[in-house]
Amino acid sequence: MEKKLISYNVNGIRAAKRKGFDAWLAETNADVVLIQETKAQPEQIEEEVFSDLGYHCFWHSAEKKGYSGVGILSKEKPLHVEMGCGIDYIDFEGRIIRADFDDYSIMSVYVPSGSSGDARQDLKMKFLGDFKNYIAGLLKEHPNLIIGGDFNICHTEIDIHNPKGNKDTSGFLPEERAWLSSFLEIGLKDSFRSVYPDLVDRYSWWSYRANARANNKGWRIDYQMVSEAMQDRINDADILKDAMHSDHCPVQVSLK
């Protein structure tokens, strides 16, 4: 039986709901939905909207209100849910949550943006180093691992609309792209590129400025990374560009 797994930076779960996120979710009927940037504390989320659709709901929020936050919606009840990763500065910002099932584990991650200045870029690079080490260890315990989320990095030139113009921009810096290559080398596959290695003009985020989305001037910064142990289970992958509840769109992987 195929499993449909979606990852979506909703840029505020309450704002997304006002734009019809729950109706879209009912129609999509995914097995698991990974959510990033909830911008809400658990008590601020209308959980019954999702439980009425058959989802078990789990949230890991930032301590700072209205900021960051991740979640997992799952039709199947997980055996275990891990809130955070045990690294204080990461968990303080509510950036990682994981659900374990019989035959796989799945994580929602929201990598910090470095676009607001040098201090946040430095924190982003620290996060990337610590996150890679954490995942390398986790793969030994949970070899059947899927990591979905907003990585805030375009990997290659075909993942961004203007590679030359953005070569010095956070999210497409050489050191960030090199990190993403090294991250995949610990035993992960970019599910979209494993199915569509050369497909161009497929993006998951667009600036709100200059009519970027209408002109498809975007970045592919949202991923579903699938461990090599599960690579043979990848059936298809997609970027759901018609979902309009955020400045991002959902990314999907289907597993056998």
Query: Which residues are marked as active site?
Result: 110, 150
For residue 36, the cross-strand partners are 9, 70
Q: Do strands 145-150 and 105-110 pair parallel, antiparallel, or not at all (unpaired)?
A: parallel
Q: Return the sign of the alpha-carbon dihedral for residues 32, 33, 38, 40.
A: negative
Q: Do strands 205-206 and 218-219 pair parallel, antiparallel, or not at all (unpaired)?
A: antiparallel
C-alpha span between 212 and 192 (Å, rounded): 22
Question: 3-class SS at 124?
Answer: helix
Q: Do strands 96-100 and 188-190 pair parallel, antiparallel, or not at all (unpaired)?
A: unpaired
Let me know if 153 is exposed, middle or buried by CB neighbors in 10 A (0-12, 13-18, 19+): buried
Question: 3-class SS at 35?
Answer: strand
Eight-state DSSP code of residue 150:
E
C-alpha span between 149 and 92 (Å, rounded): 18
